[in-house]
Amino acid sequence: MKLQLFEAEDVVSRKHGGKKSGARYGNYSRAIKPHLDWLFEQIDAAKDHTIRVKLADFADATGFKMQKVVEGKAVDEPGKLNPTSLGWGFKYSLFHAGIMYNMGKVEDGQPVMIMRRKVDSDVLPVSLQDKKAAGAGEAGTEGGETGAGEIGDEDKQE
């Protein structure tokens, strides 16, 4: 029998109780990795050490396709990701890369990413914390699902 096999981190569907192995949001971590140096440079150069970019623009730059947002609401488009889903994936991956990210909106309702360097007191929302790691509520705590395919310690910038 000849079938193509995939690694756990390459599977994006999380049906029936969630992902059991592989990196959590591994595709997002791989997608942002080439852009981290630029993000840190822009954050450090900003007057308030915070940068703001449209979520749709960042998604495009990292290879993701986002649904259009009209009057502040996502328009269902097959094959494109909901802005909320994209936001959570980026929030998790950027956090573990050393960037704290919150969502905002511009006047026309388009979602904007507000990014700054992570500090020790920053924590992820409970729904994004690793439930298997001891002390999952502490900033910078990793373990359990956040291994393979994740940005390695040597690649992190604190």
Instruction: Please list the pLDDT of the chain residue by residue as tens digits (158 residues).
Output: 566 666 666 666 544 444 445 577 889 999 999 999 999 999 999 999 999 999 999 999 999 999 998 888 889 989 899 999 999 999 999 999 999 999 998 878 889 999 999 999 999 988 888 765 544 444 433 333 333 333 333 333 33
CA distances from 69 to 39, 72, 76, 81, 122 (A): 24, 6, 9, 11, 29
**What pLDDT score does 59 carry?**
95
**What pLDDT score does 148 carry?**
32
Domain ranges of the chain: 23-118
pTM (global) more than 0.95 = no
Strand order in the sheet with 111-117: 50-54, 111-117, 99-105
